Amino acid sequence: QFPRACVTAEGLGSAQCCPSPSALESDPCGARSGRGQCVDVRADARAHGPQYPYDGRDDRERWPRRFFTRACRCSGNFGGFDCGGCAHGFTGDACERRVPVVRRNVMQLSAEEKRFFVNALDQAKRTPHPDIVIATRRYAEILGPDNSTTQFQNISIYNLFVWTHYYSVSKTFLGAGQDSFGGVDFSHEGPGFLTWHRYHLLQLERDMQDMLGDPSFALPYWDFAIGGSECDICTDDLMGARSSFDISSISSNSIFSRWRVICESVEEYDTLGTICNSSESSPIRRNPAGNVARPMVQRLPEPQDVAACLELNAFDAPPFYSTSSDSFRNSIEGYSAPQGNYDPAVRSLHNLAHLFLNGTGGQTHLSPNDPIFVLLHTFTDAVFDEWLRRHAPDASVYPLENTPIGHNREFNMVPFWPPVTNAEMFVTAAENLGYSYEAEWPARPLTPTQIVTVAVVTALIAVAIIFAASTCVVRSRAYRTEGRQPLLGDQYQRYDDHNKTQSVV
């Protein structure tokens, strides 16, 4: 994805993408007013893991340098591909004013807020992106036959969100007649899973803010860790109920029954070496809890699964892949159990929520076509943010090298523009990224040490109470025994006193 202003044959030839924020004058990146500067794009050259064995065969290696080597870097609170906009959470001519962007539980929105959100998504599905276009061919074929046209297309704001995900997971084309290579994923099965999806949501949220003219617009989230086999957001006031006529379709009362998916012809792209374009095809398919062949994915994650993964101390662990154990990232992504142990049969948390949907939302090349993707991923990002908050990690906790290609700390996330590294998203949202979550987290489960401590303290207290009570009983018995053998004089004295009191009354 690149700015429309950059994808002319001339622009690609120069390998520079530094547009001017004002259409009236040439002022790359708004440098004259101090908004930003046109700089060389740095791309990570450190070793990646063994999963990807090629070099130079894929446009996404050392992203985005195959296409452009110079881009805008914005100063202060300025932002955007030409520095004509503001960083997230800022507004005003000089981007000097903070605006709160608070992501809330979608189930707690009022009826009017729900309607507004659904309509805003539908507007994003229909509104062409004002600035960004998508490549529909690999770089080798990006110029048209006359060498003056280029293979890019306009796309709607929401479909761009779908396309970026597809592009990041697509296979490497190795040539006509050869199988494409599928052991590559620039946004899943590695530490970049959380940072990539965080930026993906930020881009959609920002595009929708601009579309709505409201810099405080916030995407809500779906707390999918509610257990059971009910999709609580699958109602016609939110993501659409089940159709009464087709178990895998959305009810015609929901606007989402009219949505059509993009990027469906994945076999064609992989055999011909083409790329998904903005053409829409069939409706969204969804059949929550309906995968009869896989009982394991018929129930949503449990609240304690979230509590358990938040307890994991290590952000990620070698080999920084979908096989990692004791990795917070692999647990929330859902390839290992919430407690951290890797088991190839397990699907938990984020992955389980995808597979539970059993349809468009459960296939990586298509999943964002179902708008539930947005809410599923804001929740995943909320858990990531809570982990960052509790564990306060240093930047060095994110691995610098030997992760699967695309996932090293300084790698520019594919295919975002302007370039943004995984490291830039490995920070707490409220303080650094201009948005926050309104969320409550399930109580932390006790550790074995804490359980033993509580048991010992409880036992000691019980012993103390029993000891005190038995001492009292023994003493009062002794007292009463003494009282039954009084001195004779004493006894008459007490009897007298009693009578006196009575006579006064």
Residues in contact with 490: Cβ distance below 8 Å, sequence separation at least 6, in sequence order: none
Three-class DSSP category at 412 = strand
Distance CA 393, CA 220 (A): 26
User: Taking the complex as a whole, how short is the minimal distance between the CB of residue 210 and ligand LHHHV7D2, in angstroms?
Assistant: 26
Can you tell me whether residue 490 is helix, strand or coil? helix
The smaller minimum CB distance to ligand LHHHV7D2, of residues 85 and 359, is found at 359
**Residue 331 near residue 322 (C-beta atoms within 8 A):** no
Task: Work out the number of other CB atoms within 10 angstroms of the CB of residue 34.
Answer: 12
To ligand LHHHV7D2, the closest distance from the beta carbon of 46 in angstroms equals 26
Q: Is 364 in the site for ligand LHHHV7D2 (CB under 6 A)?
A: yes
CB of 115 to ligand LHHHV7D2, least distance (A): 27
Amino acid at 84: G
Binding of ligand LHHHV7D2 at residue 298 (CB under 6 A)? no
Asked if residue 402 lies in contact with residue 47, where contact means CB atoms within 8 angstroms, the answer is yes
Instruction: Name the helix (H) or strand (E) containing 97.
Output: strand 97-98
Q: Closest approach of Cβ 395 to ligand LHHHV7D2, in Å?
A: 25
83 versus 332: smaller Cβ distance to ligand LHHHV7D2: 332
Q: Site for ligand LHHHV7D2 (CB under 6 A): how many residues? A: 9
Name beta bridge partners: 156.
Answer: 128
| Secondary structure letter of residue 181 according to DSSP | B
Residues numbered 177 to 236 that lie near ligand LHHHV7D2 (CB under 6 A) are: 188
Rounded Cα distance between 79 and 324, Å, is 36
Least Cβ distance, residue 66 to ligand LHHHV7D2 (angstroms): 25
Interface residues for ligand LHHHV7D2 in 337-356 (CB under 6 A)?
Answer: 347, 351, 354-355
Using CA atoms, how far apart are residues 46 and 43, in angstroms rounded to an integer? Answer: 9
Please report how close the Cβ of residue 35 comes to ligand LHHHV7D2 at its closest, in angstroms: 35
- Which of 188/242 has CB closer to ligand LHHHV7D2? 188
22-30, 121-129, 360-368, 478-486 -> range binding ligand LHHHV7D2 (CB under 6 A): 360-368
- Contact of 3 with 160, CB cutoff 8 Å: no
**Contact (Cβ atoms closer than 8 angstroms) between residue 380 and residue 204:** no
Shortest distance in whole angstroms from residue 464 CB to ligand LHHHV7D2: 52
* Residue among 29 and 219 whose Cβ is closer to ligand LHHHV7D2: 219
> Scanning the structure block, which residue is given the tokens 């984020």?
350
Q: Pick from 84, 288, 362, 419 the residue near ligand LHHHV7D2 by CB under 6 A.
A: 362
What is the separation of C-alpha 198 from the centre of its chain, rounded to a whole number of angstroms? 5
User: Which residues touch 66 (CB under 8 Å, ≥6 apart)?
Assistant: 59, 60, 139
User: Would you count residue 367 as binding ligand LHHHV7D2 (CB under 6 A)?
Assistant: yes
Amino acid at 284: I
The residue assigned the tokens 């896989």 is 294
Q: Which stretch binds ligand LHHHV7D2 (CB under 6 A): 4-12, 62-70, 217-225, 359-367?
A: 359-367
Min CB(196)–ligand LHHHV7D2 separation in Å = 10
Residues in the chain: 505
Report the 10 Å Cβ neighbour count for 73: 18
158 to 177, contacts with ligand LHHHV7D2 by CB under 6 A? none
- Shortest spacing between CB 316 and ligand LHHHV7D2, in angstroms: 17
Helix or strand holding residue 133 (H, E): strand 132-135
Residue with Cβ nearer ligand LHHHV7D2 (166 or 435): 166
Toward ligand LHHHV7D2, which CB reaches closer, 251 or 364?
A: 364
Question: Closest Cα to residue 80, out of 197, 212, 206, 199?
Answer: 206
Q: Indicate whether 271 belongs to the interface with ligand LHHHV7D2 (CB under 6 A).
A: no
When asked if residue 336 is in the footprint of ligand LHHHV7D2 (CB under 6 A), the reply is no
Residues that bind ligand LHHHV7D2 (CB under 6 A): 188, 347, 351, 354-355, 362-364, 367
